[in-house]
């Protein structure tokens, strides 16, 4: 999984894993962010590179906790765990979680992720033009970057979903793209003991 793409993928996951319960506009979508205490699910990510005939595929599962952050647990083609919280992005190592350096685009993407995780959509709308269509059963959201730094990375981001997010596509300026699918995501009210330990370390 591309480290550069990872923080923004987390941001989008945090924004769109909240269930949508009724006809909605952008304000109602933002209001949904604070509802689920925990969201869990599987992910399949395909990285399409211009230089390769076939996409690079990875898969695993995630745990999003409103009060704690996000666990991104990569299982294939290798096992690697990531954690996002107010302190930044960490990767699990033999001796515990190790912080990953963040600067430039990575730092801005993590700032956006935190704003969305806390239910503050104003930061997102400052940096993107948002176009929402469809209904609660089948909706689409198009994000077009306005911020200069994000314009250097992405041309457009497309998100599709129903009750929960189903697909995210990130189109990059140099012609590469990333597609993420999240089948079977579910909302819950509390973390398991193992998840609590992972967030507390």
Which of 13-17, 178-182, 190-194 is most confident?
Answer: 190-194
- Residue 174 pLDDT more than 80? yes
In a domain, residue 47? The reply is yes
Long-range contacts formed by 15-19: CB under 8 A, 24+ apart:
15/116, 15/121, 15/124, 16/141, 16/159, 16/161, 16/164, 16/165, 16/168, 17/41, 17/64, 17/164, 17/165, 17/182, 17/185, 18/164, 18/187, 19/163, 19/164, 19/187
Q: Are 81 and 72 in contact (CB under 8 A)?
A: yes
Q: What is the mean pLDDT of residues 180-199?
A: 90
Q: Which one has a higher pLDDT value, 5 or 89?
A: 89
* pLDDT of res. 91: 92
In a domain, residue 1? The reply is no
Crossing angle of helices 105-117 and 6-16, in 10° steps, is 20
* pLDDT of res. 36: 77
CATH number at residue 44: 2.50.20.10
Q: Which domain holds residue 68?
A: 6-200
Q: How far apart are the first and last CA of the chain?
A: 23
Give how many domains the chain has, as a whole number: 1
In a domain, residue 146? The reply is yes
Q: What is the mean pLDDT of the chain?
A: 78
Q: What is the pTM of this model?
A: 0.78
* pLDDT of res. 163: 66
- Residue 68 pLDDT more than 90? no
What are 140-163's pLDDT values in tens digits?
A: 888 898 888 888 888 998 888 776
Q: Are 6 and 109 in contact (CB under 8 A)?
A: no
What are 92-128's pLDDT values in tens digits?
A: 999 999 998 876 555 555 565 555 445 455 667 778 8
């Amino acid at each position: 999984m591309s480290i550069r793409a990872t923080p923004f993928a987390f941001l989008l996951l945090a924004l769109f894993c909240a269930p949508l319960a009724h006809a909605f506009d952008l304000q109602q979508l933002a209001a949904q962010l604070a509802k689920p205490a925990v969201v869990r699910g599987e992910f399949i990510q395909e990285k399409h590179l211009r230089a390769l005939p076939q996409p690079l595929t990875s898969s695993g599962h995630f745990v999003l906790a409103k009060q704690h952050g996000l666990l991104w647990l990569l299982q294939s083609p290798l096992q690697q765990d990531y954690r996002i919280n107010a302190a930044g992005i960490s990767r699990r190592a033999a001796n515990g979680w190790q912080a990953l350096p963040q600067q430039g685009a990575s730092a801005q993407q993590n700032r956006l992720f935190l704003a969305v995780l806390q239910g503050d959509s104003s930061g997102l709308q400052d940096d993107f033009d948002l176009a929402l269509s469809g209904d609660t059963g089948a909706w689409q959201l198009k994000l077009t970057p306005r911020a200069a730094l994000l314009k250097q990375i992405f041309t457009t981001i497309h998100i599709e979903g129903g009750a929960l997010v189903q697909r995210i596509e990130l189109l990059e300026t140099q012609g590469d793209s990333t597609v993420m699918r999240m089948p079977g995501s579910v909302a819950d009210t509390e973390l398991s003991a193992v998840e609590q330990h992972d967030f507390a370390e």
